[in-house]
Structure 1
């Protein structure tokens, strides 16, 4: 029986390429996006790869719609064996610049949405005694970064949730993992929420944006990141934490070995210094 993979955020970027790669590896892929009118690039990429993709609409922050979708897929296809929580959104701004609404929106899409979908697929996976849940977080889920307060906060939160769940889910044959990309060439930066470039933080923000623009100029390709997501979802080896590239592994290593926090702060301080 063909395994079913449900993946969110597939209209562009690494989500699109992860969906195609999972289909290329033999899974029935249910690829979701908020607006299926934007599905042409995904359909074109699938056709070029010689695979079919089952495209369905889902706004991941609509928890009732997510429940209906999971019910529909399980009824039609007999269960979901792989969940890839990929949908996400960035936000640029430090605490004073962000409204509580903007912070809540980051939690809604980057934390509560994957938590909700995970809760929805877990009963079926637990009953079958197998399943794989991969949440695409970020190197910002391990390393707090200037002007990424809300984004990193939400990504830290979802990593903590998934890491806590992992050992319990494992007892029922369900593998829970995260994968942490660094900069990926996509529309992610363009779609990020950002403040006006004025006020007391203006110079620091300009320095940060200049540094970040440089990082994205040398970003990993979305095709490569998508393949890494598929690798993590289908690997025979179980690991909780994956990265999408060697650069991402090096980046998160700064934090994961930083027992007093000084290493991360020393690493990120120059990001907001001009020159």
Structure 2
């Protein structure tokens, strides 16, 4: 069945793959990006089922305008895929306050802006599916990823709780937790490096930054295959709350689950029996 699918960050990387495959499958696609001309070029030009519109996800006004344009063109929005994101790399002390806040504005508040604009449409329809791309870094903290992980951990908590808010109106939610895919997250347009410099971190920063730069274009995951899997998830009658994607991500998520269970068990001696005596 054809759906109207709204995609952020459709000008390159995974967003382009999702939009391209959705069009091939016969869906109506709203493909958004900061530079609509780049989105249109990436998708091969005009298409009867394609609306390309400018969108800065950090702007609430732009989010509302893009949603209004989508409804005007296609009459409804069945699926939102919050894909647009950036990667702020670096050690915490070397990341400026402005950089940390910018990471949150894009990766956390950006998807919130889009979702806030689209939920009245989906509530009126009594149907819809909010899909937000998180990361395995939203489950597992990693060195040099403190800002990115913080933003994605935020996405996880927001989306997991949002489920309960919107479920009574027929709206589904899915968090996507990819591992390392050969998207364009590590290109200069998507990655920022810490702008401060502290001697204690200098050698580690140099080495770790070079390691991350060397990974660009070498990641094992195929974003076209991930796009195909995501579209299949949106076709499910009961989509999962979490979709862990990638041969690297699945065992990592499983190990995290075991680690949390072990930590909860280890906390039992000191963490139990802390209630007020009159609460028994």
User: Please, what TM-score do these two structures have when normalized by structure 1?
Assistant: 0.85
Partner of 1:126: helix, strand, or coil? helix
User: Aligned partners of 1:134, 1:253: CA distance in 2, in Å?
Assistant: 21
Give the deviation of 1:117 after TM superposition: 1.0
Q: Structure 2 unaligned segments of length 5 or more: list them.
A: 264-280
- Pick which of 108-117 and 73-82 moved more: 73-82
What residue number does 1:101 align with? 98
1:124 corresponds, among 116, 121, 126, to 121
Give the deviation of 1:218 after TM superposition: 3.6
What residue number does 1:193 align with? 192
> Per-residue displacement from partner, 1:107-127 (whole Å, max 9, x unpaired)?
111000101111111112122
1:112 corresponds, among 109, 112, 126, to 109
Give the deviation of 1:207 after TM superposition: 4.5
Q: Does the C-alpha gap of structure 1 residues 72 and 37 become closer, same or farther in structure 2, counting only changes over 3 Å?
A: closer
Q: Does the C-alpha gap of structure 1 residues 127 and 215 become closer, same or farther in structure 2, counting only changes over 3 Å?
A: same
User: Aligned partners of 1:79, 1:24: CA distance in 2, in Å?
Assistant: 20
Is 1:61 the counterpart of 2:58? The answer is yes
Q: Does the C-alpha gap of structure 1 residues 42 and 117 become closer, same or farther in structure 2, counting only changes over 3 Å?
A: same
Equivalences for residues 30-109 of structure 1 within 5 A: 30-39=30-39, 41-44=41-44, 52-109=49-106
Give the deviation of 1:41 after TM superposition: 4.6
Partner of 1:124: helix, strand, or coil? helix
CA RMSD of aligned residues (A): 2.4
2:180 corresponds, among 168, 183, 205, to 183
Give the deviation of 1:227 after TM superposition: 1.6
What residue number does 1:6 align with? 6
User: Aligned partners of 1:185, 1:159: CA distance in 2, in Å?
Assistant: 22
Partner of 2:14: helix, strand, or coil? helix
Is 1:165 the counterpart of 2:162? The answer is yes
> Per-residue displacement from partner, 1:29-51 (whole Å, max 9, x unpaired)?
0000101231255223x89xx98
Check conservation: 2:86, 2:106, Cα contact below 8 A: yes
What residue number does 2:269 align with? none
Q: Does the C-alpha gap of structure 1 residues 67 and 218 become closer, same or farther in structure 2, counting only changes over 3 Å?
A: closer
Give the deviation of 1:63 after TM superposition: 1.2
What residue number does 1:25 align with? 25
Q: Does the C-alpha gap of structure 1 residues 164 and 173 become closer, same or farther in structure 2, counting only changes over 3 Å?
A: same
Q: Structure 1 unaligned segments of length 5 or more: list them.
A: 263-275
User: Aligned partners of 1:223, 1:77: CA distance in 2, in Å?
Assistant: 25
Partner of 1:147: helix, strand, or coil? coil
Q: Does the C-alpha gap of structure 1 residues 63 and 221 become closer, same or farther in structure 2, counting only changes over 3 Å?
A: same
User: Aligned partners of 2:25, 2:89: CA distance in 1, in Å?
Assistant: 36
Give the deviation of 1:140 after TM superposition: 0.8
Q: Does the C-alpha gap of structure 1 residues 219 and 210 become closer, same or farther in structure 2, counting only changes over 3 Å?
A: farther
Q: Does the C-alpha gap of structure 1 residues 129 and 52 become closer, same or farther in structure 2, counting only changes over 3 Å?
A: closer
2:131 corresponds, among 107, 130, 134, to 134
Aligned length: 259
Check conservation: 1:80, 1:125, Cα contact below 8 A: yes
Give the deviation of 1:28 after TM superposition: 0.3
User: Please, what TM-score do these two structures have when normalized by structure 2?
Assistant: 0.84
Is 1:237 the counterpart of 2:238? The answer is yes
Check conservation: 1:20, 1:51, Cα contact below 8 A: no
What residue number does 1:267 align with? none
Give the deviation of 1:225 after TM superposition: 2.0
